[in-house]
Amino acid sequence: MNSGPEPGEIYRPSPEIIAAANVKSYEELARQADEDLAGFWAEQAEQFEWFTKWDQVLDDSNKPFFKWFVGGKTNIVYNCLDRHVKTWRRNKLALIWEGEDGDLRTFSYHALNREVCKFANVLRSMGVKKGDRVTIYMGRVPELPIAMLACAKIGAVHSVVYGGFSVEALHGRIEDSASNVAITCDGGFMNGKVVELKQIMDEALKRCATVEHVIVVKRTGHEAPMEAGRDYWYHDLMALPVARTAGGGNRGETEVMDAEDPLFMLYTSGTTGKPKAILHTHGGYMVGIATTLQWVFDLKEEDRWWCAADPGWITGHSYIVYGPLLLGATSFMYEGAPTYPYPNR
């Protein structure tokens, strides 16, 4: 069996690949950025839609607290979904999902936008508003990116906690973020086993006073005790009239956000001390990740893109959820770990 190239062996792209590459010359890009950094990033930002154009590309007067696209008004979800459903991409596949048990679900841009709008309406009906924090602790199922996008659509700040983290890790992140809504699953499949996500959430919430509502996605069918007045099944909420009617049908309004408004909090792993929340904003994050995905990975319109990370990490935020959707790409998401042979098959 060939174990790969020998040390020092180089495989160069074909002339056809080079000719079609999104980046023709790294050196030329670096030169342009060195000569006019603000102009360089303004050019990249022009591919997106802004409700109000920025006054200043970069404010570096208070280093290291840089501010990007100061005065600009946008929403990352408007650029991930709203603008695409006005074009031929509405019928293009946005997400292909495969479960560890072989389940398969697909979402066009139109279908994904519909689900995001419905869940955004559900969150609004629970009183979630701009600036509120929402903790998401789920398996790698389509409802996870739907929840992220729904939060961002209404201006809420999502905090995704990796579905393999312990009660203590989850509790600490919920408490620190002061989340008032939490979203989880009854359980999650991982390497042929079930992670009891709802039970872990329940244990964590015994120590948290801020969470008022818990939304639970039914995935594994495992026992998931539901606390009356606090816990709600996702599928029940999505079937309510409020999910379908707020904002006019399934097209709920997308909140106008300042470019520097918070988009999400994501905590450091905690391996070298107490986990710290890193805050990302709508404008700069949007332009940065779309540009890196398009240039570094040379993503094309016809490509099917797979990132094997988890949305609980920054790579998953950027290259499973937001980056591919910003570019109008087709993203593939697998539920479990990318092992072979598959468990339980």
Q: Residue range 85-113: average pLDDT?
A: 96
What's residue 57's pLDDT?
97
β-partners of residue 20 are none
Work out the average pLDDT over 38-50. 96
Better-predicted residue by pLDDT, 101 or 281:
281
| Segment 47-69 mean pLDDT | 96
Q: How far apart are CA 268 and CA 279, in angstroms?
A: 11
For domain 75-334, the CATH class is: alpha beta
Single pTM value for the model: 0.92
Percentage of the residues of the chain whose pLDDT score is greater than 90: 74
Looking at the predicted structure, is the pLDDT value of residue 70 above 90? yes
pLDDT tens column, 119-166: 999 999 999 999 999 999 999 999 999 999 999 999 999 999 988 888
pLDDT tens digits, one per residue of 297-327: 999 999 999 999 988 899 999 999 999 999 9
Q: How far is CA 93 from CA 218, 259, 328, in A?
A: 24, 28, 9
| 199 φ/ψ angles, rounded to the nearest 5 degrees | -65, -40
Tell me, what's the pLDDT at 254? Answer: 96
Sheet with 93-98, strands from edge to edge, namely 104-108, 93-98, 330-334, 304-306
The pairs formed by 99-105 with CB atoms below 8 angstroms and a separation of 24 or more are: 99/141, 99/189, 99/335, 100/189, 100/190, 100/191, 100/192, 100/334, 100/335, 100/336, 100/342, 100/343, 100/344, 101/189, 101/344, 102/345, 103/335, 105/142
Burial of 244 (0-12, 13-18, 19+ CB in 10 A): middle
Question: Residue 9: what pLDDT?
Answer: 85
For residue 262, is the peptide bond before it cis, meaning its omega torsion is within 30 degrees of 0? Answer: no
| CA atoms of 21 and 12, how far apart (whole Å) | 13
Which among 69, 67, 46, 65 has a CA at the least distance from the CA of 57?
69
